[in-house]
Structure 1
Amino acid sequence: MSWILLVLAGFMEIGGVTFLKLSEGFSKLKPSLFFVLFMGLSFIFLSMSLKEIPISIGYGIWTGIGAAGSVLIGMFAFNDPKDYRKLALVSGIIISIIGLKLVS
């Protein structure tokens, strides 16, 4: 169950960052409120998952999911420049996340 919570925390972080972008510097109310909601859920799920998962593993995976997901959302939803090098580096983050799970 802790691993499910950790993955949910990572996806909530991606949602939070997405709404942060949509809030346009907190000038739009709805996206700003969704940012607070998603980031709050992200921290709650992360804290619950860290009851059983070591912080060195949990925080690394949470950050990696958020970072990789944010890059992909930026490229495919917000028209950030797409580059094979970015995709290769994001693949490295994903491989690292899998590696952390395997060694824990």
Structure 2
Amino acid sequence: MAWIVLVLSGLLETAWAIALDRSAGFSRPLPSAVFAVSLVLSMAGLAYALREIPVGTGYAVWVGIGAVGTALVGMVALGEPASLPRIVCLLLVVAGVVGLKLFH
């Protein structure tokens, strides 16, 4: 169960990062509210998962999911460049996250 919560918390990290960008410095209420709620839920899920998963592994997986998710949303939906080197780098992050899970 801790791993499921950790993955969901990583996805929520993507949500709060995108909402933070869309909040325009907290000047837009809806994205600001989405940021606040998803941030709290993401942190709460991470805290829950760390009861069973070592902090180094849990934090790295959480950050990895959030970073890759945010970069993918940026590329797919927000017009950020999707060059081959960027995609290869994201795949390396995914490989690291998978490795941390496999060798946990």
TM-score by length of 2: 0.98
Per-residue CA deviations over 1:33-65 (Å, capped at 9, x if unaligned) read 100000110000000000000001000000100
1:5 and 1:26 map into 2 onto residues whose CA distance is 28
Q: In 2, distance between residues paired with 1:81 and 1:25?
A: 23
User: How many residue pairs are counted as aligned between the two chains?
Assistant: 104
Q: TM-score, length-normalised on structure 1?
A: 0.98
SS in 2 for 1:60: helix
Per-residue deviation at 1:25? Answer: 1.4
In structure 2, how many angstroms separate the alpha carbons of the residues matched to 1:60 and 1:23? 26
Distance 2:46 2:38 in 1: 12
Aligned to 1:62: 62
Structure 1 stretches lacking a partner, 5+ long: none
Partner of 2:27: 27
Question: How many Å apart are 1:18 and its aligned residue?
Answer: 1.0
Shift of 1:82: 1.5
> CA RMSD for the aligned pairs?
0.6
Structure 2: stretches of 5+ with no match in the other structure: none
Whole-Å separation in 2 of the counterparts to 1:7 and 1:58: 10
